[in-house]
Amino acid sequence: MIKQVLITLNYLHNRKIVHRDIKPDNILIESMPTDKHPDDPWQIKVVDFGTAMRFKKGSKITQTFGTSYYVAPEVLDGNYNEKCDIWSAGVVLYMMLSGRPPFTGADD
């Protein structure tokens, strides 16, 4: 599933689009393997492009968007690029494997 998310992010980034809110709520399962077809791969869709934007290669983005658990530290600093989506995908993977967020705290 994460491979498909990363392929999607590569597609978007090559077209100069940054999603800025990659999280489990925005990754939908369209279909999954069944007993009848166990070798069929998971099919996922990345959704909710409400915070997505076009970017210029080499320039920094300053607007702060995202969801607390998944947002890259650079986004909070207001100095980031499209790679913030990769950080968020890594957090999603961590949560899929461990069942908990990688960082904890009393507040956001």
Task: Read off the DSSP letter of residue 42.
Answer: P
Identify the active-site residue in 21, 25, 40, 48: 21
- Across the chain, the runs of DSSP E, i.e. the strands, are 17-18, 27-31, 43-46, 53-54
| Cα 40 from Cα 94, distance rounded (Å) | 24
Specify whether 21 is catalytic.
yes
Task: Read off the DSSP letter of residue 105.
Answer: -
| Cα 92 from Cα 41, distance rounded (Å) | 19
Q: CB of 99 within 8 A of CB of 28?
A: no
Active centre residues (catalytic): 21
